[in-house]
Structure 1
Amino acid sequence: MGGARADWLMADVADVESRLAATLAKQRSQLETLGIVAALALVGSAAWYVWPGVESTVPLMPRLGPAIVLLLCALAMQDLVDFGPRHRSRLGAATAIAWPPLLLLGIRAFEDTGWVQLGNLLMLPLAVAAFEFSRVQLSGGIQALRYRGLMGATGGMVALSLVISEGAESELLMPGLLVVALALIRAGIDVFGSDKDRPERRRFKEQRDALEKRVLQLRAQEIKIDQAASLLQAATEVGWNDPKEGLALLATAADDIERTLALSSDIADILADAVSTVEQSEEVAPESKRPRNCITLGEREMELGSLRDAEQLFRQGKKRAVEIIEWWTPAEEAIAEGKRALDGCDGDQYEPVRRMLQNAQDALEREEAVEAVELASAIPQQVEAMGEAGEGAEESLEEARRALEQAKGIDQDVFNERIEQADAALEAGQYSMARGLSDSVLREVTREREAMVEVQKALRQQKKLRARWEGRDDADDWENRLEGIKGARKEKQWSHAATLLERLTNDLDATQAAHGEATELLDFLQGEWRALRNQLESNGIKVDDAERHACEGTIGEAVGSLGSGDVEACLAKLGEADTQMEALRRRI
């Protein structure tokens, strides 16, 4: 369904486009037909107007001018139909030429009568329309304005020829000259007065001519200033349309010429100094090529006229040569010393140092002597540091072995396995791993020994531990926890046994602290009860009283709970007895 809908939409769009194209084609055909009809009508009108002159019934020459105008209008019909950029330009030029003669013909209406006067009067709105049309179509840039001014001047000259043809006795001489003056003034404004950037264009022209003359003089002296010449060419291309940009390019070109001239006097000395330094570097390192390549490229740039690029290349070649002179020999010595330091150093642990040595050699091959020195000079220190690390790992391993041999009574299987791993890492040159394993064995063995001593000492005094929970209801729980400690001892899990022992003693201490607090509360409550009991006797509340009997029973239960070690039950009974005693006090 989705595909069918998409096909339907595409077909609909294609149908709309085809209908739009057909409508545009129809309108185009109608416009062309209208243009042809109008052109034929104008041609017929011109023939009709000039025909009496052909038959010699009237003078021919006065009728040729209007007939020619009608024929030109017939030719302009096609431009009105198309009305593209070129067509608008042609129509604008035609109307710019036509409006002064049309205005002059309109003025003749003041000396005619009848239909001739009416016809001449119609020329006045046509002249105004032609003037406005030319101003709209020929507008925008300075070139369009100047073109409009030139066409207007042409129209003014046509109008002047018509005025002269009328003779000096014509009444329309002064109005005609006024029309000609108006047309020429308007053309002069378009050509000269409408350019706001005219002062800058004049300044651009003057600077450009002066700079072009100077460039020619310098080239005659065989001074290469190709870059300045390129800037001058670019300024010529853009300066007439954008004088500010053109002036900026001219200033850049002039500055480039000055720098080139200043540099041309020093470039020979710079080259000689650079060549001397490069020759010294070649004596130190005959295989070096980069400094000499810079000199060669600089000489080529100097031949092409790029003196600044040549200067940079000469200075770069000298800089590289100075580095070779200063650092090439130290780099070779540092690499040789690094090789001696690595002699006899086997194992994967030295692989990074070997890569460092290879990088130093590669840097020297690239003629980066400073980098080679920095890399190679660090190799002996690295080798020495790795040797010290190996000695430290061996000492740590021996200390771990001695500690394990002295630790009797602990489970040594895990530690022996770690010792073997550390020994293998030491043989492979993995000093950090070997030391880490050895240190971990030493720490854990020490911890196991301390835990063993603590547990054994506590178990030798287990009678004191049992005395702390004898007679309590939860004595079996404490015994089970003690047996757990003994079981961990049998399995030689001394750290675990020490942890269980610590938890046992902490819990006993907490229980005894709670027992002491409960004892104090019980003693206080018993004292209060004795005083209250005497008051009850004096007020006739005997032993057989139910509330008194219940209170005595609650206190007795609290005493029993405390004796069995049930502190929580004792505290609960004490709270209940306090409530009962308060009730008895209210009865007194």
Structure 2
Amino acid sequence: MSEVGGVEDVDSILSKSLALQRNRLETLGIVSAISLVMAAAWYVWPGIDGRAEFMPRFGPGLILMVLALAMQDFVDYGPKHRSRLGSLSAAAWAPMLLLGVTSFDTELANSVRLGHAMLGLIGLSCYLFSTSVLTGSLQAVRFRGLVQLLGATSATALLLSNPSEGVVMIASSGICVLAFGVALFDIFGKDPDREARKKFKQLRDTLELRILELRAQGIQVDQAASLLQNATEAGYTDPDEAMTIMHLAEDDIERTLAMSSDITDIRDDAARAVSEADDIAPTAKKAMRLLTQGDREMELGSLREAEMLFRKAKTHAGEIIEFWAQAETAISDAKRALSGCEGVQYDPLFNSVKNAEEGLDREAPAEAAGLVMAVPEHVENLGETETGAEEVVEEAWRAVKAASGIDDTDFAARLEQANKALKEGDFSLARGMADSVIREVTREAEAMVEVQRAWRQRKKLVAQWSDWADAKEWDTRLGEVGDARKDKQWSHAAMLLENI
């Protein structure tokens, strides 16, 4: 908690310090602005009052007023404020240098000459400031050049409205020429990509002319035209990227011209296949839709997409030609084979027929034919399975009836379940239950024979252990065999007999 409180105290102190500093800057800005306004009024007033020439005093006074208005930007000094100050400096440095040249006029008082010299230094500072702020991108440099052109025009206007003589006139003219030269150089001469832009313009004009000629011949090159438009938009900022895009447009034009001679043959081939498929399956419309879409893409100039659609139409039509009749025949055969069939064993086959019909509705004849091709064979196999299951169940009943002397209650119940499974069509279950009954009946019959034979010889068994100390235990074991024999649990009795 103490650390958090310390951080909050630091933030509070820092905020207060920043607010105090800003208040001081704003106060300084206001005082400076008022001082500049007062200085401008003091300097211009003699010209207004008629005690001095008006124009020589109007220029510096105007500059002082503009500087007074710009003081707030010096206080805030954000990106927008720097841009405004840079623009103002770019427009002001030429007139201020022009006024500073007046310091070479020996007829003026020394104080006046000193003031003009200070204006010249301020003009030089404005030039350096504008070049440091309005720099970086080509747009910023060109904007600086345009603003400097305005300043050069203003300086020339001042020179023509108040002509000088001698060295001052020569220096003033030189400053005007220099200002125009710097402005024009920033506008036209500081573009490092000038040669690239020139090549871009030449290639763009060539491509535009070629696209117009191809369209006049009826060849659609919309994709190349779109690439050219993108290149035109990118050429102002990145001519290298624009050149790359235009080369792609050139390649697209060449591919279009190469494909335009083949696309007609591809379309005719696809149309023949679609027509044949329509004769076989009038309800199938997918191939015709693909062909129509391909025609539309070809009209729009997208030859590659048109070729792809034509090939898809031909492929789909070929599938219909090869498999549609086969699928219809297979579905009919499957329905005929399943006619009259009932039971859970046939449910997967009925589902296959249903899925095949749905596949035919989706215009997938190959899939539909594959689903029902083997249905008749499966029906035949299931019929054989049914016959075999019935025979096994009957054999199990005969085995139960023939095995007299065993407990057949459980066997009869299981065979009833097998009969029920037969009626429901579950032949595998019925056969499995019948087979298990036959095995168990056989095992019980064999155990009964073995136990009966041993029971008839029980006196010999008793004689073996009559003299043993644990004879009663062996008698008990023999009694358990007799109890199991009475209950007709022959397998259990045989197991007990093995332990004696």
Q: TM-score with structure 1 length normalisation?
A: 0.70
Q: Deviations over 1:17-48 (max 9, x none)?
A: xxxx9x99999999888766654443332221
Q: Does 2:182 match 1:188?
A: no
Letter in 2 for 1:74: A
Of 376, 382, 393, 2:378 maps to: 382
Q: Does 2:301 match 1:305?
A: yes
Partner of 2:292: 296
Alpha-carbon distance in 1 for matches of 2:495, 2:99 = 127
Q: Does 2:362 match 1:366?
A: yes
Q: Deviations over 1:233-280 (max 9, x none)?
A: 122222322334323322332222222222222333333222222222
TM alignment of 1:189-588, pairs within 5 A:
192-193=189-190, 195=192, 197-456=193-452, 459=455, 476-501=472-497, 504=499
Letter in 2 for 1:362: E
Q: Deviations over 1:162-184 (max 9, x none)?
A: 78977573179569848975994
Of 56, 59, 65, 1:71 maps to: 65
Alpha-carbon distance in 2 for matches of 1:227, 1:407 = 90
Label 1:50 to 1:419 Cα distance change in 2 as closer, same or farther (>3 A).
same
Partner of 2:167: 170
TM alignment of 1:109-148, pairs within 5 A:
115-116=111-112, 119-120=115-116, 122-123=118-119, 126-127=122-123, 130-131=126-127, 133-148=129-144
Alpha-carbon distance in 1 for matches of 2:365, 2:473 = 79
Letter in 2 for 1:370: A
Q: Does 2:54 match 1:60?
A: yes
Question: Aligned residues, how many?
Answer: 484
Alpha-carbon distance in 1 for matches of 2:97, 2:443 = 122
Alpha-carbon shift at residue 499 of structure 1 (Å): 4.4
Alpha-carbon shift at residue 125 of structure 1 (Å): 6.4
Confirm or deny: 8 A CA contact 1:338 1:376 kept in the other structure.
Answer: yes
Alpha-carbon shift at residue 426 of structure 1 (Å): 0.8
Of 24, 29, 42, 1:48 maps to: 42
Confirm or deny: 8 A CA contact 1:163 1:177 kept in the other structure.
Answer: no
SS in 2 for 1:361: helix
Letter in 2 for 1:332: E
Alpha-carbon shift at residue 281 of structure 1 (Å): 2.2
Label 1:67 to 1:397 Cα distance change in 2 as closer, same or farther (>3 A).
same
Alpha-carbon shift at residue 102 of structure 1 (Å): 4.5
Confirm or deny: 8 A CA contact 2:207 2:250 kept in the other structure.
Answer: yes
Of residues 456-465 and 236-245 in structure 1, the stretch that sits farther from structure 2 once superposed is 456-465
Q: Deviations over 1:478-531 (max 9, x none)?
A: 5444444443333333344444455x36xxxxxxxxxxxxxxxxxxxxxxxxxx
Alpha-carbon distance in 1 for matches of 2:464, 2:122 = 132
Partner of 1:537: none
Alpha-carbon shift at residue 51 of structure 1 (Å): 1.6
Of residues 428-437 and 340-349 in structure 1, the stretch that sits farther from structure 2 once superposed is 340-349
Alpha-carbon shift at residue 107 of structure 1 (Å): 7.0
SS in 2 for 1:266: helix
Confirm or deny: 8 A CA contact 1:163 1:173 kept in the other structure.
Answer: no
Letter in 2 for 1:49: Y
Partner of 2:9: none
Confirm or deny: 8 A CA contact 2:94 2:175 kept in the other structure.
Answer: no
SS in 2 for 1:251: helix
Confirm or deny: 8 A CA contact 1:152 1:184 kept in the other structure.
Answer: no
Alpha-carbon distance in 1 for matches of 2:240, 2:382 = 70
Confirm or deny: 8 A CA contact 1:166 1:173 kept in the other structure.
Answer: no
Gaps of 5+ in 2: 1-14
> What is the CA RMSD across the aligned residues, in angstroms?
4.1
Label 1:443 to 1:119 Cα distance change in 2 as closer, same or farther (>3 A).
farther
Identity of paired residues, percent? 50
Alpha-carbon shift at residue 418 of structure 1 (Å): 0.9
Partner of 2:10: none
Gaps of 5+ in 1: 1-20, 506-588
Letter in 2 for 1:188: F
Alpha-carbon distance in 1 for matches of 2:453, 2:366 = 68
Q: Deviations over 1:83-107 (max 9, x none)?
A: 6655443322222233455466667
Rg larger in 1 or in 2? 1
Partner of 1:558: none
Alpha-carbon distance in 2 for matches of 1:172, 1:467 = 160
Alpha-carbon distance in 2 for matches of 1:467, 1:173 = 159
Alpha-carbon shift at residue 375 of structure 1 (Å): 1.9
SS in 2 for 1:265: helix
Alpha-carbon distance in 2 for matches of 1:434, 1:387 = 14
Partner of 2:12: none
Letter in 2 for 1:62: P
Label 1:452 to 1:150 Cα distance change in 2 as closer, same or farther (>3 A).
farther
Label 1:414 to 1:167 Cα distance change in 2 as closer, same or farther (>3 A).
same
SS in 2 for 1:95: helix
Alpha-carbon shift at residue 345 of structure 1 (Å): 2.0
Q: Deviations over 1:171-201 (max 9, x none)?
A: 7956984897599469736854464x55544
SS in 2 for 1:58: coil
Label 1:304 to 1:182 Cα distance change in 2 as closer, same or farther (>3 A).
closer
Partner of 1:576: none
Confirm or deny: 8 A CA contact 2:142 2:186 kept in the other structure.
Answer: no
Label 1:167 to 1:345 Cα distance change in 2 as closer, same or farther (>3 A).
same
Alpha-carbon distance in 2 for matches of 1:31, 1:501 = 119
Alpha-carbon distance in 2 for matches of 1:186, 1:485 = 127
Q: TM-score with structure 2 length normalisation?
A: 0.80
Alpha-carbon distance in 2 for matches of 1:105, 1:472 = 149
Of residues 115-124 and 58-67 in structure 1, the stretch that sits farther from structure 2 once superposed is 115-124
Alpha-carbon shift at residue 435 of structure 1 (Å): 1.8
